[in-house]
Amino acid sequence: MSIALKAFLLPVIDKARTSILGVVALLVACIISTKVVLASEVADRIWVNGTILTMDDDNIRAQAIASKEGKIIAVGKKDSVLQLKGVKTEVIDLNGKTLLPGFVDPHGHVMMGGLQAISANMLAPPDGDVTDIKSLRSILKEWIARNQQKVNETQLIIGFGYDNSTLKEKRHPTRDDLDLVSKDIPILLVHQSGHLFAVNSAALKAINYTASTPNPAGGVIRRKANSDIPDGVLEETAGFAALGKLMSRLGEKSGEVFITEGTKMWARYGYTTAQEARSMPGTVAQMKAVANKGDLNIDVITYPDVLVDRDFIKNNVSATYKNRLRVAGAKLTIDGSPQGFTAWRDQPYYDPVGNYPEGYRGYPATSVDQVYGAIDWAYENNIQIITHANGEAASDLLIAATTLAELKHDRQGSTRPVLIHGQFLREDHVEAFHRLNIFPSLFPMHTFYWGDWHTEHTVGPKLAENISPTGWVRSRGMMFSTHHDAPVALPDSMRVLHATVNRTARGSGKVVGTKQRVDVLTALKAMTIWPAWQIFEEKSKGTLEVGKLADFVILSRDPTETKKQILDKIEVVETIKEGVTVFKN
């Protein structure tokens, strides 16, 4: 072919080739489009006309979301998602409200929360009305009058959430105070921390605590002045033992009631995954009984105490749920309560309120050998361990034991060990957690409830600034989660959010730790995708993506568009578990 002829024909050939390729592309597109249409599912439910925060950094906002058979099948633009609408599809108008992934509880006690739900409310404002010992007694008497039949049947009176730091008297109620309510029926009051207890004389008699009863290891039976006679206030293991004995009066099925009521409470605050962070084989059996009846409205994970029955943990731990329940790992407790002065510090408490010796630093709840043994066992058996450590000395021990276990077993963070609380941390602790791949689950709500108390009494104004140091954690690029530790506080998700962002003390209104505050989106991640990662469930929860569970919470307004000072005024409107509404306000 001549050059001239080629020059004449090539444009024609190229034009034809382009046309053919265009037709082929169009046909392929039609075929693909047809496949999409044919493969498209008809949604069970579609949510539109509101703000949808996916918590997925690549696509943080969407206009609509659809679910089918408990999973997300579409999220994106409204017109595209509505193509999945069928005759029976329910289309929900959000009316400007905000939909997010269901909140994942990184640390709480859902069974004890159920107990709180049916007990006398001893909380201080804004969660209750107890301001002094007189009002405590009055509210207790009102509860008894409303629940007289239950009291007669169980021969037990239970109150939950009193806090000596908020009482006018700045002390715990004693047996003498509670005897004015009842001398005959045992009274058990659980401190808001869950680490201290107040009981009356009848309760002391029922649990056989007398002047000759020694303090148990890791606990204290407080005594009357200049006497060995118990004054009715019990610390740590002394109180836990009393709790177990007195709670047996509620009957074998009481635990089943607690877990059912607890999950209902968690759902009211937008949680679609709850946690029972310290269980026993017996309580796990009660949770299984409820789960097997299909009565868990949300997912529940639990961590049995590693110092009780390790074979039980090994035989029951699982990465998958059965009827919305799974044993996720093991729980270790090193020390106690920071606001109750039982957290184990590296220096004396600043100005502790009570009868404490000079240089008092708190104390460990377990022995050094037990801590080393428990963490080594968890690493050896590739089991996640979550560790309660509040005071600096407790974190020192956690770091030392984890360092040794990591050197021995070389897990490189694969078991995702978790620090629980870490209220009194030094910055070198945070650096060590980063190095050891220990995931911090922090408790910024402390700055709201006890910010002033920490400033004035536990650690003083300088160190109080760094309670629950989310700023230090983020400066190292670390993920973290924020918890409520209910029933230490109500499982109030918006209070968690507000405290993490603002860190304002409820009494003075002062900011406790300006440099430790984070922005709203970061705080939301610490309630959704990061705790989902913490519990190895980031592939199914925490963000709104196709294929993940349709676990949602609907809020009255968009937190990212709300003034941070009023984040706690946002309401949970609805909670949806696997596409089904489990709570609606």
**pLDDT of the residue at 183:** 93
Cβ neighbours for 354, distance < 8 A, ≥ 6 positions apart: 171, 341
First and final C-alpha spacing in the chain: 82
411 neighbors 451 (Cβ within 8 angstroms): no
**pLDDT of the residue at 40:** 58
Nearest Cα to Cα of residue 425 among 499, 346, 484: 346
Cβ neighbours for 319, distance < 8 A, ≥ 6 positions apart: 326, 536
Q: Could you count the other beta carbons within 10 Å of the beta carbon of residue 17?
A: 10
**pLDDT of the residue at 173:** 96
Strand order in the sheet with 385-389: 330-333, 385-389, 418-421, 439-442, 481-482
**pLDDT of the residue at 118:** 80
Q: Residue 291 corresponds to which tokens in the numbers above?
A: 């789960």
Nearest Cα to Cα of residue 259 among 240, 237, 279, 230: 279
What's the rounded Cα separation, in Å, for the pair 130 and 553? 31
In a 3-state reduction of DSSP, which class is residue 565?
A: helix
What's the rounded Cα separation, in Å, for the pair 495 and 196? 23
Q: Mention the CATH class of domain 130-250.
A: alpha beta
What's the rounded Cα separation, in Å, for the pair 77 and 64? 6
For the chain, percent of residues with pLDDT exceeding 70: 93
**pLDDT of the residue at 518:** 98
What's the rounded Cα separation, in Å, for the pair 332 and 398? 10
Residues in the chain: 585
Residue with tokens 């974190």: 395
What's the rounded Cα separation, in Å, for the pair 439 and 282? 28
What's the rounded Cα separation, in Å, for the pair 140 and 134? 10
What's the rounded Cα separation, in Å, for the pair 564 and 514? 14
What tens digit of pLDDT does each residue of 314-354 get? 999 999 999 999 999 999 999 999 998 999 999 999 999 98
Largest Cα–Cα distance in the chain?
120
**pLDDT of the residue at 32:** 30
Residue with tokens 């184990």: 344
Rounded to the nearest 10 degrees, how much is the dihedral formed by the CA atoms of 95, 101, 106, 112?
A: 50
Helices 254-268, 281-292: inter-axial angle, 10-degree rounding: 70
Q: Which amino acid is at 41?
A: E
Q: What is the DSSP letter of 295?
A: -
Q: Could you count the other beta carbons within 10 Å of the beta carbon of residue 435?
A: 14
DSSP string computed for 116-161? HHTSEE-PPTTT----SHHHHHHHHHHHHHHTHHHHHHHT-EEEEE
Nearest Cα to Cα of residue 418 among 502, 338, 301, 323: 301
Dihedrals φ, ψ of 467, to 5°?
Answer: -65, 135
In terms of DSSP bridges, do strands 330-333 and 187-191 run parallel, antiparallel, or are they unpaired?
unpaired
Dihedrals φ, ψ of 179, to 5°?
Answer: -65, -25
Respond yes or no on whether the N-terminal peptide bond of residue 173 is cis (omega within 30° of 0): no
- Angle in degrees, CA 497, 502, 504, rounded to 5: 115
Q: Is 79 left (phi over 0), alpha (psi -120 to 50) or beta?
A: alpha
**pLDDT of the residue at 3:** 39
**pLDDT of the residue at 193:** 81
**pLDDT of the residue at 117:** 80
> Domain spanning 254-584: which superfamily?
Metal-dependent hydrolases (3.20.20.140)
In a 3-state reduction of DSSP, which class is residue 464?
A: helix
Where does residue 514 rank: exposed (0-12), middle (13-18), buried (19+ CB within 10 A)? exposed
Would you kindly state where each structural domain of the chain is located, as residue ranges?
Answer: 130-250, 254-584
Nearest Cα to Cα of residue 119 among 89, 143, 97, 136: 143
The ranges of the chain with pLDDT < 70 are 1-40
Q: What is the DSSP letter of 322?
A: B
Q: Residue 477 corresponds to which tokens in the numbers above?
A: 């690029």
Nearest Cα to Cα of residue 386 among 108, 113, 190, 110: 108
**pLDDT of the residue at 243:** 84
